[in-house]
């Protein structure tokens, strides 16, 4: 079925065909025809952000919390360049988003026209794919292809750049079922021979560990279910990257906690000491591996990843399995069950004894204070007071992010939105907006640091306008905490530019936007203040004044392997030296 | 907590030199990439190489199937076996790439390059240049009383050798196409 319509109408029609209910955007000259079409319909809700970067992060929050692609609409030139950080963030964290940008009319491209930028050129390295649409007749099929590419294989951001004359001109609309899907069809089934090898390794392993990542979340809730089944049935311990939290429940008995630079002692030592590492949907990121030549030296490594380029990129895989996590886990379970559900029970029990010894270190212990709120304590209380609620957490980037990952427990996938790969300060607030739009009834909390939060604080306007009751839980140490920590550990305590001076009064700031502000500085008042935040129906800025010089531990110093973790300040003296000093 | 006593400037080296067990032998591979012929596709391929720090020794591109909108890009690249594997995997990830073949790894192939070489000289040198051109089966495609332009087709080695011989005989300019290559045999 084909129909004649304008390019602008096609954009809206294609979004409807794709089941899109929400678009995050900001209008401008080159997208006016599309905004005109948005005005004349009610199926798609437009959320007006206050900065294009926030539109992309909000779309990411929407996508991560729903499993559906997020959509953003921005104008040409500065609108598109402001989207670049968000696109790069989504690329590194494999988040499916579709960004539509306006462009100057085709006959003006290349003339340095007003608000012209080479958007496809600028965004080529920070998208999975992008298109410049030069003919209205091709617009609708490109739109459908854009959704296909964003959501298939390893998900990621795509951008469609639409010149203004293409939006005005009339062309033929191609409906979704008729649209050519193109040649992009990534492999989802894993190689059965290698999967059988993995099953054999599972049957024999004496010190196995599951190391799971964002790929499990991206594969959908079914993959998390299969993972849980496999973990329960084998009794193997499981750890996860920052991106994978929630795939296996934090309350599960096989859960070791997060691994990596600020991961738990028992998780990192299990990775270091294991004889079988089963990587499911993670990519051996440098935050995870630490020093490569000393990374888990005695283990056989299986690596399940939908992206062939992740295999053998940094760590050599003994059992490489290219495929979708859900499909592969299904086959693993099927074959393992068919072969008699064997594991080396005796050895596994011994392995758990060892892990229990490591757990006794209690690596998350911190020094409590009667007078000052410790950031860890603030998060412990937040966890205790929100446990069991329909809760979504976003974060900014820095110490608070690592503490949130350590002290909050995630029982389900899609409940934890954080900027892992790119480490984008300013991600959390707009992401919380996107999550709240997708889940209007849920409790959405952005755990923030004051410095990160200020980077996209203009989104208070969005939160208030759309009555989004997002809770901005700011651990305010008046410092760029992680930068300060590294300057303390690495740069002779010379705290170059890492303090937050001239901070706003956050309560007044909230009130100026028409929202509620709460300040808390006494540990004794904390519970009541948190309850006040939770009970308020509307956006809240919670200014939690915390200990200014708290360091985030445990920590693997740069350039060191997993078994050289620092557990606290006492151990940190002389921790990072030589080659490690150049690592970020 | 006391300050850490880290020596100033204790390391100038990139941390990523801490790479583990992969072999560091450099290999040269010819990779042939069939791509959809659409705007920006070459930029995607080249951007991949520059963005990830891979080498391009030579690169050729032209449309090979007008109906099917397909172009073939032939890339000669040098790297460790692990880097070569990464290059192939990364190329395969580009949405407009149809297929990637490593001709060096997948059995025998034919590789040809075309070069134009301008040699300006007179007297004995001019005669010698012409004699060597004959040995290499180069053709004269332009001539003045003081110069020749030779056209030579062959493997890159052969062209290197000829250019080396022409250098003392008045070589002034070289233009090379880069390698075009196909696997031998039926498919």
Residue A367 inside a domain? The answer is: no
Q: Are residues A333 and A436 in the same domain?
A: no
CB atoms within 10 A of CB A561: 19
What helix, strand, coil percent values describe chain A, rounded to 5? 45, 20, 40
Domain holding A84: CATH number? Answer: 3.40.50.970
Q: Are residues A103 and A245 in the same domain?
A: no
Min Cα distance A112 → chain B (Å) is 19
Q: Are residues A379 and A423 in the same domain?
A: yes
Contact between chains at B96 and A315 (C-beta distance less than 8 A): no
Tokens 């992008």 belong to residue = A130
Residue A116 inside a domain? The answer is: yes
Q: Are residues A21 and A61 in the same domain?
A: yes
Q: Which of A359, A384, A416 is the last residue of a domain?
A: A359
Report the run of H or E that residue A129 belongs to, with start and end.
strand A129-132
H-helix segments, A97-207: 119-123, 136-151, 164-168, 192-204
For residues A475 and A448, the answer to whether their CB atoms sit within 8 Å is yes
Contact between chains at B86 and A312 (C-beta distance less than 8 A): yes
For residues A411 and A222, the answer to whether their CB atoms sit within 8 Å is no
Residue A249 inside a domain? The answer is: yes
Alpha carbon distance A117, A103 (integer Å): 8
> What are A229-264's pLDDT values in tens digits?
999 999 999 999 999 999 999 999 999 999 999 999
> What would be the CATH architecture of the domain defined by B23-102?
2-Layer Sandwich (3.30)
Closest partner CB to A576 (pick from B6, B85, B95):
B6
Q: Are residues A514 and A394 in the same domain?
A: yes
Contact between chains at B6 and A313 (C-beta distance less than 8 A): no
Alpha carbon distance A393, A54 (integer Å): 17
Residue A570 inside a domain? The answer is: no
Q: Token pair for residue A250? A: 């934090």
Domain holding A278: CATH number? Answer: 3.40.50.1220
Q: Measuring CA to CA, how many Å separate A283 from each of A279, A329, A330? A: 8, 17, 21
pLDDT given at position A577:
58
A13 is annotated as an active-site residue? no
Q: Testing the interface with A: which of B2, B4, B37 to mutate, by most A Cβ within 10 A?
A: B4
Q: Which of A326, A359, A392 is the last residue of a domain?
A: A359
Residue A552 inside a domain? The answer is: no
State the total domains in chain A: 3
Q: Could you report the average pLDDT of every consecutive run of 10 residues in chain A (584 residues)?
A: 89 98 98 98 98 98 98 98 98 98 98 98 98 97 97 97 98 90 89 98 98 98 98 98 98 97 97 98 94 94 97 95 98 98 97 97 94 98 96 98 98 98 98 98 98 98 98 98 93 94 97 98 98 98 97 90 84 61 69
pLDDT given at position A576:
62
Alpha carbon distance B128, B149 (integer Å): 14
For residues A37 and A11, the answer to whether their CB atoms sit within 8 Å is yes
> What are A55-95's pLDDT values in tens digits?
999 999 999 999 999 999 999 999 999 999 999 999 999 99
Cis check for the bond before A554: say yes or no (omega within 30 of 0). yes
Residue A582 inside a domain? The answer is: no
pLDDT > 90: what percent of chain A? 92
Q: Are residues A78 and A217 in the same domain?
A: no
> What are B102-146's pLDDT values in tens digits?
999 998 999 999 999 999 999 999 999 999 999 999 999 999 999
Q: Are residues A211 and A113 in the same domain?
A: no
Closest partner CB to A307 (pick from B7, B22, B93):
B93
Q: Which chain A residues are Cβ-neighbours of B22 within 8 angstroms?
A: 316
CB atoms within 10 A of CB B119: 27
Alpha carbon distance A448, A425 (integer Å): 9
Contact between chains at A293 and B1 (C-beta distance less than 8 A): no
Q: Which chain B residues are Cβ-neighbours of A183 within 8 angstroms?
A: 36, 98
A459 is annotated as an active-site residue? no
Q: Token pair for residue A498? A: 């890492």
> What are A426-480's pLDDT values in tens digits?
999 999 999 999 999 999 999 999 999 999 999 999 999 999 999 999 999 999 9
pLDDT given at position B6:
36
Quick check: do B23-102 and B111-183 share a fold?
A: yes
Taking the Cβ of residue A577 and every Cβ of chain B, the question of whether any pair is shorter than 8 Å is answered with: yes
Contact between chains at A124 and B44 (C-beta distance less than 8 A): yes
Q: Are residues A85 and A160 in the same domain?
A: yes
Min Cα distance A136 → chain B (Å) is 17
Strand A45-48 and strand A70-74: pairing? Answer: unpaired
Helices A526-535 and A375-386: angle between axes, nearest 10 degrees: 50
Alpha carbon distance A493, B98 (integer Å): 54
Phi, psi of A533 (to 5 degrees): -60, -45
Taking the Cβ of residue A181 and every Cβ of chain B, the question of whether any pair is shorter than 8 Å is answered with: no
Classify A273 as helix, strand or coil. helix
Tokens 């890159």 belong to residue = B156
**Which domain, by its residues, includes A487?**
375-545
A379-398 burial string, b = 16+ CB within 10 Å, else e? bbbbbeebeeeebbbbbbbb
Residue A564 inside a domain? The answer is: no
Contact between chains at B89 and A308 (C-beta distance less than 8 A): yes
Phi, psi of A438 (to 5 degrees): -75, -30
Contact between chains at A488 and B6 (C-beta distance less than 8 A): no
Q: Are residues A116 and A204 in the same domain?
A: no
Q: Which chain B residues are Cβ-neighbours of A570 within 8 angstroms?
A: 1
Strand B109-120 and strand B171-176: pairing? Answer: antiparallel
Residue ranges of the domains in chain B?
Answer: 23-102, 111-183
A482 is annotated as an active-site residue? yes
Alpha carbon distance A20, A71 (integer Å): 8
For residues A503 and A548, the answer to whether their CB atoms sit within 8 Å is no
Q: Testing the interface with A: which of B93, B97, B102 to mutate, by most A Cβ within 10 A?
A: B93
Residue A560 inside a domain? The answer is: no
Q: Could you report the average pLDDT of every consecutive run of 10 residues in chain B (187 residues)?
A: 36 39 85 95 97 95 96 97 96 96 94 98 97 97 97 97 98 97 89
Q: Which chain A residues are Cβ-neighbours of B4 within 8 angstroms?
A: 488-490, 492, 572-576
pLDDT given at position A572:
65
- Give chain B's radius of gyration (CA, Å): 22
Q: Are residues A290 and A222 in the same domain?
A: yes
Contact between chains at A579 and B93 (C-beta distance less than 8 A): no
For residues B160 and B98, the answer to whether their CB atoms sit within 8 Å is no
Contact between chains at B11 and A569 (C-beta distance less than 8 A): no
Q: Which chain A residues are Cβ-neighbours of B17 within 8 angstroms?
A: 579
Q: Are residues A423 and A291 in the same domain?
A: no
> What are A162-193's pLDDT values in tens digits?
999 999 999 999 998 888 878 899 999 999 99
A426-A427-A432-A433 Cα dihedral, nearest 10 degrees:
80
Alpha carbon distance A450, A437 (integer Å): 23
C-alpha closest to that of A555 among A352, A368, A410, A406 = A406
**One-character DSSP codes across A491-503:** STT--TT-B--S-
Min Cα distance B85 → chain A (Å) is 8
C-alpha closest to that of A97 among A106, A88, A108 = A88
What ipTM was reported for this prediction? 0.91
Contact between chains at A308 and B15 (C-beta distance less than 8 A): no
* Non-local CB neighbours of A503 within 8 Å, separated by 6+ positions: A450, A476, A478
Q: Which residues of B fall below an 8 Å CB-CB distance to A?
A: 1-7, 10-15, 17-22, 36, 39-40, 43-44, 47, 51, 82, 85-86, 89-90, 92-96, 98
Contact between chains at A574 and B6 (C-beta distance less than 8 A): yes
C-alpha closest to that of A453 among A439, A471, A435, A434 = A471
Q: Which chain B residues are Cβ-neighbours of A579 within 8 angstroms?
A: 11, 13, 15, 17-18
Q: Which of A333, A359, A385 is the last residue of a domain?
A: A359
Q: Are residues A299 and A338 in the same domain?
A: yes
Secondary structure letter of residue A69 according to DSSP: P
Q: Which CATH class is domain B111-183?
A: alpha beta
């Amino acid at each position: 079925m084909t129909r004649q319509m304008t390019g602008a109408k096609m954009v809206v029609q294609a979004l409807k065909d794709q089941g899109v209910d929400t678009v995050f955007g900001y209008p401008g000259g080159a997208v006016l025809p599309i905004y005109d079409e948005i005005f004349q319909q009610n199926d798609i809700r437009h959320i007006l952000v206050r900065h294009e970067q926030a539109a992309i992060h909000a779309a990411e929050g929407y996508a991560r919390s729903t499993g559906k692609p997020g959509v953003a609409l921005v104008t040409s030139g500065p609108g598109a360049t402001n989207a670049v950080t968000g696109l790069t963030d989504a690329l590194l964290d494999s988040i499916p988003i579709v960004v539509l940008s306006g462009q100057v009319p085709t006959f003006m491209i290349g003339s340095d026209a007003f608000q012209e930028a080479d958007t496809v050129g600028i965004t080529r390295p920070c998208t999975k794919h992008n298109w410049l649409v030069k003919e209205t007749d091709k617009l609708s099929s490109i739109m459908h292809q854009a959704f296909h590419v964003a959501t298939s294989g390893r998900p990621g951001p795509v951008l469609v750049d639409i010149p203004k004359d293409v939006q005005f001109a009339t062309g033929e609309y191609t409906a979704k079922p008729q649209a050519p899907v193109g040649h992009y069809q990534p492999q989802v089934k894993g190689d059965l021979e290698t999967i059988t090898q993995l099953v054999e390794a599972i049957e024999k392993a004496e010190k196995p560990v599951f190391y799971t990542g964002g790929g499990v979340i991206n594969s959908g809730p079914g993959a998390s279910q299969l993972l849980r089944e496999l973990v329960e049935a084998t009794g193997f311990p499981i750890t996860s990257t920052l991106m994978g939290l929630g795939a296996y429940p934090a309350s599960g008995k096989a859960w070791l906690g997060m691994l990596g630079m600020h991961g738990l002692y028992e998780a990192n030592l299990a990775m270091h000491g294991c004889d079988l590492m089963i990587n499911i949907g993670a990519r051996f990121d440098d935050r995870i591996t630490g020093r490569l030549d000393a990374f888990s030296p005695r283990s056989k490594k299986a690596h399940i990843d939908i992206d062939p380029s992740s295999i053998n990129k940094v760590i050599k895989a003994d059992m490489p399995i290219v495929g979708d996590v859900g499909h592969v886990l299904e086959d693993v379970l099927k074959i393992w069950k068919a072969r008699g559900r064997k594991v080396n029970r005796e050895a596994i029990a011994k392995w758990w004894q060892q892990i229990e010894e490591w757990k006794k270190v209690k690596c998350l212990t911190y020094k409590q204070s009667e007078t000052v709120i410790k950031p860890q304590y603030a998060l412990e209380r937040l966890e205790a007071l929100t446990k069991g609620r329909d809760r979504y957490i976003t974060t900014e980037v820095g110490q608070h992010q690592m503490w949130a990952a350590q002290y909050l427990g995630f029982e389900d996938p899609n409940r934890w939105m954080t900027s892992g790969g790119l480490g984008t300060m300013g991600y959390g607030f707009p992401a919380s907006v996107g999550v709240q739009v997708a889940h209007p009834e849920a409790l959405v909390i952005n755990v923030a640091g004051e410095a990160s939060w200020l980077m996209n604080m203009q989104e208070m306007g969005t939160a208030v306008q759309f009555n989004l009751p997002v809770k901005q839980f700011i651990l305010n140490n008046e410092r760029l905490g992680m930068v300060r920590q590294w300057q303390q550990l690495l740069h002779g305590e010379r705290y170059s530019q890492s303090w937050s001076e001239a901070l706003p009064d956050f309560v007044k700031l909230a009130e100026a936007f028409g929202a509620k502000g709460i300040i808390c500085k006494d540990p004794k008042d904390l519970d009541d203040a948190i309850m006040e935040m939770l009970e308020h129906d509307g956006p809240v800025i919670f200014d939690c004044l915390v200990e200014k010089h708290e360091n985030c531990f445990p920590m693997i110093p740069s350039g060191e392997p997993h078994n050289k973790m620092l557990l606290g300040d006492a151990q940190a003296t002389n921790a990072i030296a030589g080659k490690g000093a150049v690592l970020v | 907590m006391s300050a850490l006593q880290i020596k100033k400037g204790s390391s100038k080296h990139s941390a990523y030199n801490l790479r583990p067990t992969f072999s560091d032998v450099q290999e040269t591979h010819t990779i042939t990439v069939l791509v959809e012929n659409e705007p920006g596709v070459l930029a995607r391929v080249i951007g991949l190489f520059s963005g990830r720090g891979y080498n391009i020794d030579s690169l050729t591109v032209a449309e090979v199937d007008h109906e099917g909108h397909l172009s073939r890009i032939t890339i000669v690249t040098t790297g460790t076996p692990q880097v070569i594997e990464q290059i192939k995997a990364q190329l395969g990830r580009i949405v407009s790439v149809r297929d990637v073949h490593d001709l060096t790894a997948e059995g025998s192939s034919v590789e040809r390059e075309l070069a134009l070489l301008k040699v300006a000289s007179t007297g004995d040198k001019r005669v010698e240049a012409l004699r060597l051109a004959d040995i290499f089966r180069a053709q004269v495609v332009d001539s003045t009383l003081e110069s020749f332009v030779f056209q030579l087709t062959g493997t890159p080695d052969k062209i290197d050798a000829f250019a080396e011989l022409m250098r003392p005989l008045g070589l002034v300019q070289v233009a090379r196409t880069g390698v075009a290559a196909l696997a031998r045999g039926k498919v």
